[in-house]
Amino acid sequence: MSRRVAEAFAEAAAQNRAALIGYLPAGFPNPELSVRLFNAMVASGVDIIEVGLPYTDPLMDGPVIQQAVNQALDAGTHTDVVLDIVRQITEAGATAVIMSYWNPIERFGVERFAAGLEAAGGTGVIAPDLTPEESGDWAVACDAHGIDRIFMVAPSSTPARIDAIVRATSGFVYAASTMGVTGVRTSVSSGAGDLVARTRELTDLPIAVGLGVSTAEQAAEVAAYADGVIVGSAFVRRVLDAPDGEAAVAAVSDLARELAAGVRR
């Protein structure tokens, strides 16, 4: 596990709470404002930033994140821009991991991407469509550059599958609370707690739950059994609904404070 990710989870555990992980696509709604939004999230209580790498075919993402990704792409965001955004926010004190589909990483170059992320101060990568069986070259590159490989478990994962995933994972395990795409939901899946319990039997890594968490109440619910709470679409929606950049910064700051209070209940 990278030092900064380990420290983020350790600090949260020392405070008897879950870590708060917040997602936005890099370059949304434009690269300059994107950096301000990430920094505002950190200043308002987010422990780890999940930086989305915009991609033209985001199969796992719902309409809210797809809209944001399209804005980022229209603003000229590409992989080098994403790495520069990571550099800017880590230099400002953020702990940052990237969320990316595999195709952009492969096209950029596996070794080149891992080296670039290390140079930018990034600590890990969540690649939802990459399986451990297909990650040999990626594992080598990550180990060479101190990058965590963060894989996902899902409610449908069997014990054997969870075991294979956690053996290939470093940093933390991403537990998808439900089957389906990202998006704000009125409640968190009742199976999320069971998934965390089944995963915890097979690993000592921190387990963070994502997909569907959008309110302080939901964050508190998940924080009762998980080591981390991941929030994405709710942050994106706040930015999409804001009339201008200043309002967007204020909106994500307000949500971060609400969620930070939630994981501390």
Would you please indicate which residues are annotated as catalytic (active-site) residues?
50, 61
> Which tokens sit at 103?
């195709």
Beta-bridge partners for 153: 175
Instruction: Please say whether the beta carbons of 228 and 197 come within 8 A.
Output: no
Give whole-number Cα distances, 40 to 45, 180, 235, 236, in Å.
9, 29, 12, 14
**Among all chains, which residue has been given the structure tokens 């909106």?**
251
> Which tokens sit at 44?
């308002």
Beta strands in 81-233 (DSSP E): 96-99, 124-126, 148-150, 152-153, 173-176, 207-210, 228-231
Instruction: Please say whether the beta carbons of 69 and 58 come within 8 A.
Output: yes
Q: What is the dihedral of CA 224, 225, 230, 234, to 10 degrees?
A: -50
